[in-house]
Amino acid sequence: MNSRTALVATALATVLTVVAPGTVNAAPPARSAADCRPGTLDPGPLRQAIAGLPNSDATSAQVRITTPDGCWTGATGVRDLRSQAPVPPHARFRIGSVTKVFTAALVLQLVAEGRIDLADPVQRHLPGLLPADYPTVTVRQLLDHTNGIPSPTMPDGIEWQLAHRYDRWTPEQIVRLGLRNPREFEPGTKQRYTNMGYIVAGLLVEKVTGHPYARELDRRIARPLHLRDTYAPGDDPRILGPHAHGYQAVVRDGATELVDATTWSQTFTPASGNVISSLADLDTFVAALFAGRVVPPAQLAEMFTLPAVPDVAGGPARYSAGLTAFPLPGGEVLWIKTGSRFGYLTGVAATRDGRFRTQYSITGTDAKGEELSRTAQAVIGAALGML
C-alpha cells in the first residue's frame, strides 16, 4: 500500500475492532440535499465527527451517508478563512485518487465494446511509450496495480511543491520521468499501488477513442448520469463553481501558517487524481456503478476481483480495478477508494449491494501528510458504526 492508503487501512482496522457487524444507461438526476432524508437514520455520530470546524486539523467537512434506514448529508466549517462564510450547498472538491474509479470504468466500457481486451499488451495500443525491450504490460495490469512501471522521483518538501504548483505536465512526460528509475517488479508478479498505471490508462482511453480524457469522462459517465459537478479540469488549476477552499499548513520561521492550496495544477496526476466532483455526484456514480448501469456485469466483475499475487510487502493484494477491498466482521467486504490532493481529502465506500454508501470531503490542513487527518478518522469511525 502507499502511505495514504495504509493510514486509511489502519483507521479502518482500528474502527472495525469495535464496530458490530457498455453504454451507460440513463439515470435520474442526482439527488439534491433536500431529497436526501434521514428517515430513521440517526446522523448524530457523523454530526459529532465533523463538529467544531474550522480547527487546526481541517477548515471544513462534507459528509453523505445512505443506509437502508435513510440518507443524510451534512457540512460544517467555512468556505474560506477570509470570509468565514459557510460551505456552499453542493460544494465541489478535488477527489484525488477517487479519479481512478472513473478511469477504470472508462477502460472497462471500452473492453465491453470490444475495442480493447484486458489481456492486450499496452505496447500494442501505445507503441513507443515504453522502451522496446520492456516486458509486456497488459491493460488489466494497469488497472490492478500489478504493472511494475516505476514512478517518478520528485523533490521532497512543501516549499518545492508550492513553487511548482502551476507547472504543466503531459502524461508522456510523467511516464518518461518514471522510466528513469528501475522497474518495480516483473509485470504481473506483485502489486504496488501507484498512479502510474492510471496515467497510462488515461492515455489508452484517449488513443482508443480519439478524444481527450475529459471529453470521454463527460460523454460516457457525467452526462448520462446527470453528474452536474463532475469534470476533469485539464490544465485549468481552478475549481469551477461553488467550492470550499483547501489549505496547507506550512512551517516558516518556526511558525505555522495556512497557505491557500485551492488553485493548483493537477496535470501531474492525469486520469489518476485530477477529477473534481461533489458528494451527490459521487453517490449517484457509485450507486449506478455498483448496480451495473455504468459498466456491464461481465466487465464490472473486474472491480470486485483481487489479483492472485502478493503486494510488495508480502501481504495479500487489496486492490482491484479501481477499488480497494476491506473485510468487515461477518465476512462481507467494504469496497472503498480514498484520495488526497493538497487541501483536500476524499473518500467513498460502499457494500457490494450498494445498500450502504458513504462519501466525504474534508479540507484537511495537511492532506498529504504522514498522519491521517483526525477529522477523517472520526468520519470513518462514525460511518462504519452506522453499517
Q: What is the pLDDT of residue 266?
A: 97
Strand 324-327, strand 333-341: pairing:
antiparallel
Per-block mean pLDDT, blocks of 10 residues, the chain (387 long): 52 44 39 71 96 97 96 97 96 98 98 98 97 96 98 93 97 98 97 98 98 98 98 98 98 95 98 98 98 98 98 96 93 95 98 96 96 95 93
**H or E element at residue 379:** helix 374-384
Alpha carbons 272 and 104: distance in angstroms, whole number: 10
Quote the cell numbers at residue 358: 458513504
Q: What is the pLDDT of residue 331?
A: 86
230 HSE (CA, 13 A, CB side):
32
Quote the number of domains for the chain: 1
Nearest to 72 by CA among 36, 47, 44: 36
Enumerate residues 6+ apart whose C-beta is below 8 A from 99. 198, 232, 269, 271, 272, 273, 274, 275, 339
CA distances to 167, 184, 324 from 143, in Å? 27, 16, 12
Q: What is the pLDDT of residue 6?
A: 54
DSSP 29-67: PPPPGGG---TT---HHHHHHTTT-SSSSEEEEEEEEEE
Looking at this protein, which amino acid is placed at residue 134? Answer: Y
For the entire predicted model, the pTM comes to 0.93
Q: What is the pLDDT of residue 23?
A: 39
What b/e readout covers 189-219, taking b as 16+ CB neighbours within 10 angstroms? ebbbbbbbbbbbbbbbbbebbeeebbebbbe
The conformation of residue 157, written as its DSSP 8-state character, comes to S
Assess contact for 190 and 311: CB atoms under 8 A: yes
Burial group, residue 156, by CB count within 10 angstroms (0-12, 13-18, 19+): exposed
Nearest to 71 by CA among 33, 36, 30: 36
Domain span at residue 136 reads 3-384
Report the CATH number that the domain containing residue 29 is assigned in CATH: 3.40.710.10
